[in-house]
Amino acid sequence: MKPSEDQNVPVIPIVGLGGLGKTSLAQLAFNDGRVTSLFPLKIWICVSEEFDLSRLLKLIIQSINKEERCDDLTLEALQACLRSLLNHKKFLLVLDDVWSENQAKWVELRNLLRSVDGLSQSKIIVTTRSWNVTSTMISIPSYELKGLPHENCLALFTKWAFNYGDERQYPNLIRIGEDIVKKCKGVPLAVRTLGSLLFQKTNESDWIYIRESEIWRLEQDENDILPVLKLSYNHLPSHLQRCLAFLSLYEKDEIYYSDKVIRLWMANGLLEHPKQNQEWEDVGKRYLNELLSRCLIQKEKDFGLYFSFKMHDLVHDLVLDVSQKECKIVNFETERVDENVRHLLLCDEKLVEVPRVLEEMQNVQTIIIRDASEESKTIHESIINLCVSNFKYLRALELSHSPLAALPNSIGTLKHLRDLDLDECRGIRELLRSIYNLRSLQSLNLGDTGLKQLPDSVQRLIELRHLVITIEATHLKEIRAGCWTSFQYLKLVRCIKLECLPEGMQYLKSLRTLVSSYCIRLVSLPWSLKFLTKLEHLEIIGCTKINLEMEAEEEEEKDLQLSLKTFSLESLSVLTDLPRLLLQGSSSTLQQLRISICPHLSVLPAWLPNFTSLHKLEIMGCINLSALPEGIDRLTNLRELTIGRCPQLSKRYKQNGGEDWHKIAHVQKIDIFG
């Protein structure tokens, strides 16, 4: 992929049916080291159906420089901004999933790119299902992506339908599978989805049912939803069908976040009742894992406590089709909304007032506002007033990044509200007392607000399970006994004046996850954490004054039984030791330990090899750490070990020549660098 030598806009189109792997092929090129060496600046944009020049320019600008504020720029200003960012730079621009066959719109973008100095050294990759799209562009000949050969499809199908080697025990199923694969017409997405649908099903009747299904006989347009996806959806349990359909509330090519999706499912009553020793959040995680295993969603990145995922555009077409009467994306052009719609996404920067079609609705359960102008408070105020007056059964309200300065007193009338998201509503300085009337509230996100203090009334929210807070106070109010009995998750984020966690932490008997992020004056963890026997996940990030030395006060505390499963420390500049009380009390339960950028940590505790369940250990940026503790080879369950940017450790444990390599050689996956 060498830079172009002519003056035309250098476009490389990749054309093919949906599900063939056009995006995957473009990603392979985009991430290839040789491509990176040719094009230091790489930009990936998901275009989809709407080829709007202003929208594309903003996406490109923000991909190059996330700090660039361009929401309210005119088209001319956007063009000038982009020229300044691209001039004299070699870049690779990927326009993924282009649908528009309107040549005039492409000409607008082409003319802008032609005005960039040094364009001839750059390249543009376009993925599309339509040959008509490529004909609107002056380009090199298109690369047509064709279907996989039958033998490759069968191998892929077998990989997803059986555990490794098991297919040899079922020759009859393989024969039926060959017929099913032929119906997939070489489309990898179809093959993989059907293989996962039949995974661990060894009854021939299940396979014959798929092969003989009437859905294969339906007439299908070239860009229609694949029959195999309809088959896969039809075979989902009803609870998974409802949850998958709910994801159509998001736009195509959206990045989903598992924790947020689960909370919205919970708020709308889409989850089955938990079994014994399970929580609602566990049910949501199980649903996501099932959708992953059926190839209906694809994991993007694992963040430890949650993960991001995407949905193939064909799967998104499917969920739009099956959920059209319940989920609706609204913009300033929306003229009609079905009266049966329950979930609304208001997504348009041009939206400055509530569309009139919403004023006649009564049964809305979810409202999410996205991309509204930050300068306009009108729509946010109008939405809340509409919720209070019309949407008496509202379950979830997301107003993140809202310019609102306060919530109205009337918010307390939303008796069924379970999820309230005010993330980055920096103008909100206090919560009114009426918040305590939201007795059904399960999740409250007050992260990165301007809140001075968390009022006492929040402790009267008896169903609260999930709380994210940013406050300006030095201390949080004491937690009272009997409050928050279902509490699962507490995150303190950028509480820059906070000096300690609140008194009464021992009353949070159900707490499973505690996160402290960039609370730069926090100096210690309270002793009361030893009473939180259900605490499973502890994460401390960017708390630059904290030191975690914790010793047992009494002899009997040496036998303390705690339940930590994951423990993560990052950017703790004064840390010299690990919390003995918490960790030794979790010696039989701890599964993952992550220590990153702790420059004053020079030694790991001698009792670290006692963690019999530890299977993942990550040590990054600990420049003064010289050795792992003696007995590290006793960690027989350790499956993943990462050591990065730790010069002394990297030298000591490297595979070729490291003096202590033999002590970690039993670990299945080892990554040592820097």
Distance (Å, whole) CA 185 – CA 580: 59
Distance (Å, whole) CA 166 – CA 494: 52
Distance (Å, whole) CA 477 – CA 482: 15
- Sequence letter at residue 444: L
Written as six digits, the tokens of 494 are 């950028």
Query: What pLDDT score was predicted for residue 432?
Result: 84
Question: Is 383 among the domain residues?
Answer: no
DSSP-H helix ranges across 124-257: 131-135, 150-161, 171-183, 188-197, 204-211, 227-234, 238-246
pLDDT digits (tens, 9 = 90+) for 382-394: 888 888 888 999 9
Query: For residue 294, which of 194, 227, 207 has the smallest C-alpha distance?
Result: 194
Written as six digits, the tokens of 496 are 């820059």
pLDDT band at 42, cuts 50/70/90? Answer: very high
Q: At which of 284, 305, 320 does a domain end?
A: 320
pLDDT band at 362, cuts 50/70/90? Answer: confident
- Sequence letter at residue 553: E
User: Is the domain of 249 the same as that of 180?
Assistant: no
Q: Could you tell me which residues come within 8 angstroms of residue 102 by beta carbon, excluding any fewer than 6 positions away?
A: 51, 136
DSSP state of 329: E
User: Is the domain of 562 the same as that of 651?
Assistant: yes
Question: Could you tell me the pTM of the whole model?
Answer: 0.84
Asked if 580 contacts 605 with a C-beta cutoff of 8 angstroms, the reply is: yes
The arrangement of strands across the sheet holding 307-310 comes to 256-257, 307-310, 298-302
Q: What's the rounded mean pLDDT across residues 150-171?
A: 93
Question: Is 37 among the domain residues?
Answer: yes
Mark 350-376 as b/e (b = at least 16 C-beta within 10 Å): ebeebbeebeebeebbbbbbbbbbeee
- 123 against 221, higher pLDDT: 123
Residue 103 has pLDDT above 70, yes or no: yes
Residue 50 dihedral angles phi and psi, to the nearest 5°: -90, 105
Asked if 634 contacts 607 with a C-beta cutoff of 8 angstroms, the reply is: no
pLDDT digits (tens, 9 = 90+) for 177-218: 999 999 888 889 889 989 999 998 999 999 998 898 877 766
Residue 570 has pLDDT above 50, yes or no: yes
Q: At which of 234, 259, 275 does a domain end?
A: 234
3-state percent breakdown (helix, strand, coil) of the chain, nearest 5? 35, 15, 50
User: Is the domain of 566 the same as that of 633?
Assistant: yes
Q: What's the rounded mean pLDDT across residues 4-17?
A: 73
pLDDT band at 101, cuts 50/70/90? Answer: confident
Q: What's the mean per-residue pLDDT of the chain?
A: 89
Query: What pLDDT score was predicted for residue 536?
Result: 97
User: Is the domain of 117 the same as that of 222?
Assistant: no
Query: What pLDDT score was predicted for residue 597?
Result: 97
Query: What pLDDT score was predicted for residue 592?
Result: 97
Query: What pLDDT score was predicted for residue 349?
Result: 67
pLDDT band at 478, cuts 50/70/90? Answer: very high
Query: What pLDDT score was predicted for residue 555?
Result: 44
User: Is the domain of 225 the same as that of 250?
Assistant: no
User: Is the domain of 132 the same as that of 16?
Assistant: yes
Question: Is 367 among the domain residues?
Answer: no
Question: Is 361 among the domain residues?
Answer: no
Q: At which of 320, 348, 378 does a domain end?
A: 320
Query: What pLDDT score was predicted for residue 348?
Result: 66
Asked if 470 contacts 427 with a C-beta cutoff of 8 angstroms, the reply is: no
Written as six digits, the tokens of 587 are 């010696």
Query: For residue 571, which of 603, 599, 548, 604 has the smallest C-alpha distance?
Result: 599
Query: What pLDDT score was predicted for residue 558?
Result: 58
Overall size of the chain counted in residues: 674
- 132 against 651, higher pLDDT: 651
Query: What pLDDT score was predicted for residue 367?
Result: 94
pLDDT band at 221, cuts 50/70/90? Answer: low
pLDDT band at 5, cuts 50/70/90? Answer: very low
Q: What's the rounded mean pLDDT across residues 376-402?
A: 85
Residue 166 has pLDDT above 50, yes or no: yes
Query: What pLDDT score was predicted for residue 471?
Result: 95
pLDDT digits (tens, 9 = 90+) for 111-152: 888 888 777 788 999 999 888 888 777 667 888 998 899 999
- Total domains in the fold of the chain: 4
User: Is the domain of 257 the same as that of 217?
Assistant: no
pLDDT digits (tens, 9 = 90+) for 441-452: 999 999 999 999
CATH code where residue 94 lies: 3.40.50.300
Distance (Å, whole) CA 277 – CA 509: 14
Residue 533 has pLDDT above 90, yes or no: yes
Written as six digits, the tokens of 238 are 């009803």
CATH code where residue 559 lies: 3.80.10
User: Is the domain of 256 the same as that of 312?
Assistant: yes
- 1 against 525, higher pLDDT: 525
DSSP state of 626: -
Residue 313: alpha-carbon gap to chain centroid: 17
Distance (Å, whole) CA 257 – CA 225: 25
pLDDT digits (tens, 9 = 90+) for 69-96: 777 788 888 888 888 888 888 899 999 9
User: Is the domain of 297 the same as that of 260?
Assistant: yes
pLDDT digits (tens, 9 = 90+) for 241-255: 999 999 999 988 889
Question: Is 154 among the domain residues?
Answer: yes
- Name the residue with tokens 């590290």: 632
- Sequence letter at residue 332: F
- Sequence letter at residue 61: I
Structural domain that includes position 617: 555-674
Residue 552 has pLDDT above 50, yes or no: no
Question: Is 590 among the domain residues?
Answer: yes
Q: What's the rounded mean pLDDT across residues 7-16?
A: 81
User: Is the domain of 64 the same as that of 118?
Assistant: yes
Question: Is 137 among the domain residues?
Answer: yes
pLDDT digits (tens, 9 = 90+) for 275-304: 988 999 999 999 999 999 988 999 999 999
User: Is the domain of 110 the same as that of 219?
Assistant: no
Question: Is 380 among the domain residues?
Answer: no
Identify the sign of the CA torsion 223, 228, 231, 232: negative
User: Is the domain of 228 the same as that of 268?
Assistant: no
3-state secondary structure of 233: helix
Query: What pLDDT score was predicted for residue 617?
Result: 97
CATH code where residue 313 lies: 1.10.10.10
